[in-house]
Amino acid sequence: MLYMKKQTHDWSTRTITTPEGEKITFFDNKLHNWNGPAIKYPRSTKKKDEYYLYGFECDKETWLEFRRDRNGVTPDKNPQVQSRF
């Protein structure tokens, strides 16, 4: 009888530095970083940093838009929500 191994998720963010000086950030084994570019190149290479969210590449403007929408006001503190019970 086969038993399925219980999958465990790694919810920690890890940053590695390559020998070339690139800093690569992972979350759940996918390129991802809310705080900056997921791949940051040293200035000497003259490459632009790359932004990723959950493994999907996006440009800086899109990344900023998603980051802006990430934190919001909870519905009970939002004055635009008019619900009365």
Round to whole Å and give the CA distance between 40 and 50. 7
Summarize pLDDT for 1-48 with one digit per residue, the tens. 556 566 666 678 899 999 999 999 999 889 999 889 999 999 999 999
Query: What is the pLDDT, as a whole number, of residue 12?
Result: 81
Mean pLDDT, rounded, for 52-81: 78
Confidence of residue 80 (pLDDT cuts 50, 70, 90): low
Alpha carbon 22 to its chain's center: 17
Query: What is the pLDDT, as a whole number, of residue 68?
Result: 78
Contact residues for 59 (Cβ-Cβ < 8 A; gap 6+): 51
The model's pTM: 0.68
Tokens of 59: 């440009």
Alpha carbon 17 to its chain's center: 17
Looking at per-residue pLDDT, the higher value among 83 and 20 belongs to 20
